[in-house]
Structure 1
Amino acid sequence: MGLSWKEGVLTILLGAAAASGLTTLILFLVEATSILLPADTKFGIVFDAGSSHTSLFVYKWPADKENNTGVVSQALACQAEGPGISSYTSDPALAGESLRGCLEEALALIPEAQHRETPTFLGATAGMRLLSQKNSSQAERIFAEVARVLSQSPVDFRGASLLAGLDEGAFAWITINYVLGSLLTYTFSGEWARPPEATLVGALDMGGASTQMSFVPGGPILDASTKASFILYGSSYSVYSHSYLCFGRDEVLNRLLARLVQVRPARAGRHSGLARHPCYHSGYRATVPLAPLFESPCVHTSMPPGAAQNLTVEGAGNPGACVSAIRELFNFSSCEGQADCTFDGVYQPLMQGRFYVEVSYPEHASWLRDYCASGLYILTLLLEGYGFSEETWPSIEFRRQAGGTDIGWTLGYMLNLTNMIPAKAPAMKQAENYGVWAAGIVLVGLTLGAILGAAAVQLLWPRD
């Protein structure tokens, strides 16, 4: 028996309603899927060109940032082969070539489609600062070669330049506080929040050519040249920061040895260089070239006249004399009677809270002779220079990493850079847009269903 015309029309209407409902459901699921998928990930590359070596770091963060700042994590750390770029004065092209290996590792990690939008920056620190003082043309040639290599790479190259000492210290402060969760923390309620200011820590970076001190003081920063200001995750910070060029470990050891050099007559009537080193263990004896000691701008004396090309170094094993020799490298008298002064007349407000110390120069077994001098230098710097005491010493922690992340200026630089990189609409705004869209889809579906239903009633039960 065939269907009546009313039943046929009703079947068509019901089919249309089912198709409409199915279409609405598909659209709903497609949009929900696009909303629930993880946000796009952005990447950034930073080269840290230090005095003794160059390191590359790759960072990543979700495209939808938190209060305009990315929630950044370290994705790769790579140490370039060879010494720091300031060592390539005789062949600047090698400075650029030394970066290729780590750069290739970074590009292999980052999706190829995102290479062109990946910001890449090289910041040179104290080693290149010293070279710029000594021979600016050599420094410029090295920067040119580094820029040539990086600009040829398929990335968004932002430049290769000197990083100011103030910025180096301040960015390191951002890094350690971010890694420790003192700038941003994820609460149990599933929201990002700013921790109490009391959780902030100070940062001490002890490198090969310089050392940096950075912290948020309890009062105002009276010297504007030591103040760095940031807005991170919607909060403002004023950080005291100062970099002491020539007070990194390598330069301190060079300056110390240069002060100990004496000229003595040799039996054959010729002169030779001799240094009796109180910090080297008794019985140590070695011959080293003399001229390189006096090439650094940190050494303010010239090579003694009549000295031979080589220097004979003899260890004396005298810790007391070692401390006295190291203290002579600091000008403590310039800060006598001043509570807000460290040494060499440098302003520093009163310290507060905990401090994390990053020792960023590499250790090597061949440097065993320098362990005594290095340790006593660190003690002198922290106790007599920066003003730590027996009571505040427990507030210092020595770290190279925290939470699996390298402590240094590079992560802080990238966090600050994310403030200037456009982001997608925040997740909350996407959710709001999705809610409006979903409500519109449901309303259209309900309206169509009501119309179809009314038509079906009119067909099946017409009025008399």
Structure 2
Amino acid sequence: MRRSNARSPSIDPPIMDSLKNQLRPSPLSAARFDLLSRISPSNKQRPRGDLWISAAVASAATIAAFLLFAALVARGWTSSDEEGYWIVIDGGSTGTRIHVYRFRRGALLPVVDFGEGGQSAATMKVHPGLSSYADRPERAGESLVELLEFGKGRVPRERWADTEVRLMATAGLRLLDRRVQERVLTSCRRVLRASGFLFQDDWASVISGADEGIYAWVAANYALGTLGGDPRQTTGIIELGGASAQVTFVSGEPLPPEFSRLLTFGENMYTLYSHSFLHFGQNVAHESLRDLLISRGRKLSSESVQGEMFTDPCTPRGYSHGPLKISDAGSDANIEHVPTIHATGNFSECRSAALMLLQKEKAYIVALLHDGLGIALDDQRIVFANQVGGIPLDWSLGAFLVQKTEDLKASRSDWIARIMSDDSSTLLSLFFVSTVLGVAAWSVSKWRKPQLKTIYDLEKGRYIVTRISSR
């Protein structure tokens, strides 16, 4: 039963006021809502002026980049697939050979074209070698004329002026006196300067035996595909030339400075041991061996040795030697004899005779591999090869690769210096114009950008964002 005098429930006024305050939105939240309501619509549609400024900046940057790239291409500072040519003349002991290399720039190494069938289609050799001009060095350059004509037939005429030609003489010329070497080179330089190819006097030189070995190592590992990779995966070489032999391989041990060389390809550095053995090339050693055999077999008497016969165990049976003239150092040094040399092809006797030569020197074929380097005679790791995968194993190829790689490094490091040089006014103008355009576009964008200020209205309890008018 309900009581008649019961009071109806009521809420205390202070509590009611508190509830009203909780339900009423705060000034900060209201201001935030009002701010979003004011700013959001304006962000949905950017003013046409801002779009025009962005387009102008992008266009200016694109034009400047295009002009700069075009100038770099015109000056040949960028890599391209355009073919290039490079000529090296190998001044060997038995003859002089020209190599014309056609190539394209690669990411790490030049890509050389060796012609169809894997054969180098641009090489030619003439006889005799430059060292044979020791008695008439002023005529040494004449031997290059035929080779240079051959090179002109392999290089397009319009490319002659930018095709380098280099003369690198090897052991044959190293055996001559330094003054004779220089006279021979002077004669050759005179002919090379008039060839029509790109040439500098210091590009004709006598290279060291160690450098020759390094170039041969580079050529071999380029052909094997290991150049530019892990040094531990590379292959060492033993190059047997006409007048010298070279041994080159990567070493992980400390080396004497005279035998140590550093090479860098890509991100890998190679510490190379390179040693050249002068007088122990194939031709010189064979001549020394024949002289030894003749001296052992000659009769110790004053009788004429005309018609004497000597045996050569190192030449295959049935081979016929040409006439060999020797001078008798006895009573009449002007008398010449023509002995007969009979080839027997006896390996054991040949090795015995070769080892007799090696009692005076320490390197040549069998002794170099077996007695000198400690390599077993049946070691399958030793392979005789003149080419690998159709790529000729010629040290001149290595010389080309080393030189072009060094040129590429120099061009990359000197490009800023080239831009700042006196003959680079065009590039400086492009940089100046692009800089001015960029600064102008940035200034206009800052000038056109609206300036805003935010005010908090204490009476209404909200933030008010207004635009500042520019004067």
Smaller-chain TM-score range?
A: 0.5 to 0.7
TM-score with structure 2 setting the length: 0.62
1:51–1:208 contact (8 Å) kept in structure 2: yes
From 228, 242, 245, the counterpart of 1:211: 245
From 366, 374, 396, the counterpart of 1:387: 374
From 226, 245, 251, the counterpart of 1:182: 226
1:205–1:408 contact (8 Å) kept in structure 2: no
Which residues in structure 2 correspond to 1:132-143 (within 5 Å)?
Answer: 132-133=176-177, 136-143=178-185
Q: How much does 1:52 deviate?
A: 1.7
Which residues in structure 2 correspond to 1:76-225 (within 5 Å)?
Answer: 77-89=122-134, 91-92=136-137, 95-130=140-175, 132-133=176-177, 136-154=178-196, 155-157=198-200, 158-184=202-228, 195-221=229-255, 223-225=256-258
Decide whether aligned partners of structure 1 residues 399 and 269 sit closer, same or farther in structure 2, where only a CA change above 3 A counts. closer
- Report what 1:12 is aligned to: none
Equivalent residue of 2:221, what SS?
A: helix
From 102, 110, 115, the counterpart of 1:71: 110
Mapped partners of 1:285, 1:62: distance in 2: 47
For 1:264, give the aligned amino acid.
Answer: K
Which residues in structure 2 correspond to 1:23-422 (within 5 Å)?
Answer: 38-62=80-104, 66=108, 70-74=109-113, 77-89=122-134, 91-92=136-137, 95-130=140-175, 132-133=176-177, 136-154=178-196, 155-157=198-200, 158-184=202-228, 195-221=229-255, 223-261=256-294, 262-264=297-299, 269-272=303-306, 275-280=310-315, 288-291=323-326, 308-316=336-344, 318-331=346-359, 344=362, 378-390=365-377, 393-418=379-404, 419-420=406-407, 422=410
For 1:46, give the aligned amino acid.
Answer: V
Q: How much does 1:39 deviate?
A: 4.8
Mapped partners of 1:94, 1:165: distance in 2: 25
Mapped partners of 2:204, 2:130: distance in 1: 12
Give structure 2 stretches of 5+ with no counterpart.
Answer: 1-55, 115-120, 415-429, 449-471
1:63–1:423 contact (8 Å) kept in structure 2: no
**Bigger radius of gyration among the two:** 2
Mapped partners of 2:319, 2:84: distance in 1: 53
Mapped partners of 1:211, 1:104: distance in 2: 31
Decide whether aligned partners of structure 1 residues 196 and 107 sit closer, same or farther in structure 2, where only a CA change above 3 A counts. same
Equivalent residue of 1:289, what SS?
A: coil
Mapped partners of 1:246, 1:317: distance in 2: 24
Alignment identity in percent? 28
Give structure 1 stretches of 5+ with no counterpart.
Answer: 1-19, 185-194, 295-301, 333-342, 347-376, 427-432, 452-464
1:279–1:318 contact (8 Å) kept in structure 2: yes
* Aligned-CA RMSD value: 4.6
Mapped partners of 2:157, 2:174: distance in 1: 35
Mapped partners of 1:124, 1:178: distance in 2: 23
Mapped partners of 1:161, 1:91: distance in 2: 18
- Report what 1:335 is aligned to: none
TM-score with structure 1 setting the length: 0.62
Mapped partners of 2:358, 2:106: distance in 1: 48
2:305–2:337 contact (8 Å) kept in structure 1: no
Question: What is the CA deviation profile of residues 178-214 of structure 1, one whole-angstrom value per residue up to 9, with x for unaligned ones?
Answer: 2322123xxxxxxxxxx22332111121111111110
Mapped partners of 2:321, 2:387: distance in 1: 35
Equivalent residue of 1:156, what SS?
A: coil
Mapped partners of 1:277, 1:116: distance in 2: 51
Question: What is the CA deviation profile of residues 354-397 of structure 1, one whole-angstrom value per residue up to 9, with x for unaligned ones?
Answer: xxxxxxxxxxxxxxxxxxxxxxx744442233322156x21122
Q: How much does 1:310 deviate?
A: 2.3
Equivalent residue of 2:376, what SS?
A: coil
For 2:223, give the aligned amino acid.
Answer: V
Aligned positions, number: 357
